[in-house]
Amino acid sequence: MNSVRRRELEYHEKLYSGFAQSHFARPAVRALRRHMVDRIRELTGASPESRVLSLGCGIGDTELLLAPHVAELTGVDLSPAAIRQARADAGALAIRNARFEEGGIGGIAEGRYDIVIAIFFLHHLPDDELAALPHRLKDILAPGGVFYSLDPSRHRLSGAVGRLLIPNLMKKYQTADERELEPAATAELFRRAGLDARVEIYDFGSSPLAGLFPGWAAGYRMARAMDDRLLRVPLLRRRGSNFELIVRT
Ligand SMILES: C[S@@+](CC[C@H](N)C(=O)[O-])C[C@H]1O[C@@H](n2cnc3c(N)ncnc32)[C@H](O)[C@@H]1O
């Protein structure tokens, strides 16, 4: 295992030993996850026939909300603690079309998936693995398949403000190797592999607010409604927090 992966594993094993489970169960974070799932369904066209793969699925809280809307869902993650939790939650919720496996993109069957999602995952990959991913995706996706990712943007205003006001908290929630990504340059990696990639901006302040005030669901919903207006302003859109890639074969 390379050193980045070892550090990622160590950090996430700790994160998933209790904190993530309780933080992600809070009302504002749940509301954010529901919004993400609606967005994934809208942008990928996920349907009851879709076979979905999630890369870096963590404890599967987004995936278990998505599973009832698709034919089958597979989540993979480096962290055994995450996979244990995802399996336990799938069992407790009696969700039978989702399975969770330890690992990465290496051992995935070819041509199997209509949709591949990666939520807050790409920015954890080292540059060489990120550059290789689009080529691997071409093998994994079925003809006409779609890839959807969501990651922090290097241009986000919330990141600059956070580093200024709450630098220690920001560090606590980040691994040593993750970094914000440049949206256009990331899309270009997929285009260079012969894929059709477009960028959307997901949010401005609503997701950071859910992270800071996880118990305040009404606050999240207000901020989300405000984001939908703010993101129509080109300058604010450019300084949005997280960007989406929608990639088609
Ligand atoms: C920021 S977390 C996001 C988890 C989840 N998608 C979510 O939205 O909460 C990044 C995840 O990627 C996983 N990860 C990091 N590098 C990986 C790799 N090379 N292969 C598979 N999973 C990896 C970590 O274990 C972690 O669960």
Q: Separation of 62 CA from ligand 1 center, angstroms?
A: 13
Give tens-digit pLDDT for 29-80.
Answer: 999 999 999 999 999 999 999 999 999 999 999 999 999 999 999 999 999 9
User: Confidence band (pLDDT; 50, 70, 90) for 168?
Assistant: confident
Nearest to 56 by CA among 178, 204, 168, 145: 178
What's the whole-number mean pLDDT along residues 138-155?
A: 96
* pLDDT band, residue 234 (cuts 50/70/90): very high
* Closest Cα to atom 3 of ligand 1: 120
- d(CA 134, ligand 1 centre) in Å: 17
Query: With a 6 A CB cut-off, is 124 part of the ligand 1 pocket?
Result: yes
* Nearest residue (CA) to ligand 1, atom 9: 58
| Binding site membership of 78 for ligand 1 (Cβ less than 6 Å) | yes
Calpha distance 11→179 (Å, rounded):
15
Residue 75 CB less than 6 A away from ligand 1:
no
Cα–Cα dist 53/30, whole Å: 21
pTM of full prediction above 0.95: yes
